[in-house]
Amino acid sequence: MSKADQTTSGIGQQGARVELSMTSEPGQIAAVRRAVESLCTDEGLDDRSACEVGLCVNEALANVIRHAYEGAAGRPIRVTAVCDAREVEVRIRDWGNGVNPAELPQRPYDPLEPGGLGLICLGRCMDEVRFEPQGDGMLLVLRKRAAAADAAVQVGGCGHCGSATPGCEKRSGQ
């Protein structure tokens, strides 16, 4: 991994990790989405959160293929996901045109006009969406906290498994 890609992950070393390389063919999106969803569910993230993360990975990859690579096939995309039962972080690196979607003029979302829904999904489903220009492309960092972990913290329970029992022993990756 190049130095330009390195940023701090809040999840740290405890979370399980998956690293995936793909090229910019739409036919590869589903396998990557399913792999990230599986990581999330295997690590104990609630189903709803896992599904939302999968949707956002799908939408982000589709945006890379359509916009960053302007539909060109065979271009590299690297996806890294780190997850524990409380949180997931997904990093999507491309070597495309480097256009930062967050800096494009925003128009009001109209459900009957094409475009924009992918970014709406990211904003609705993720707790953090950050585009980091890399000089030779873009790094998108997505973070999401598990709904169950939030609820457990609110009631003083175990933040790892959502149990109402504080200090529950269940913790993925151990």
Site stretch for other proteins (CB under 8 A), options 11-19, 97-105, 106-114, 128-136: 106-114
Closest of 68, 69, 55 to residue 117, by C-alpha:
55
Site stretch for other proteins (CB under 8 A), options 92-100, 112-120, 142-150, 156-164: 112-120
Torsion of CA 50, 81, 7, 172, to 10 degrees: 80
For the chain, how big is the Rg over CA atoms in Å? 17
Interface residue with other proteins among 120, 127, 130, 133 (CB under 8 A) is 120
**Nearest-approach distance from CB 66 to other proteins, in angstroms:** 7
Task: Please say which residue, 1 or 117, places its beta carbon nearer to other proteins.
Answer: 117
Interface residue with other proteins among 30, 102, 155, 164 (CB under 8 A) is 30
Lay out the site mask for other proteins across 40-79 (x = CB under 8 A, - = otherwise).
Answer: -----------x---x--xx--x--xx-------------
Count the neighbouring beta carbons within 10 Å of the beta carbon of residue 117: 12
Going along 25-74, which residue ranges are E strands? none
By the rule CB under 8 A, 145 interacts with other proteins: no
By the rule CB under 8 A, 121 interacts with other proteins: yes
The DSSP bridge partners found for residue 141 are 91, 130
How far lies 8's CA from each of 3, 12, 29, 81, in Å? Answer: 12, 8, 26, 13
How far lies 33's CA from each of 37, 54, 71, 83, in Å? Answer: 6, 5, 19, 14
Task: Please say which residue, 117 or 164, places its beta carbon nearer to other proteins.
Answer: 117
**Residues at the interface with other proteins (CB under 8 A):** 25-27, 29-30, 33, 51, 55, 58-59, 62, 65-66, 109, 111-112, 114-115, 117-118, 120-121, 124-125
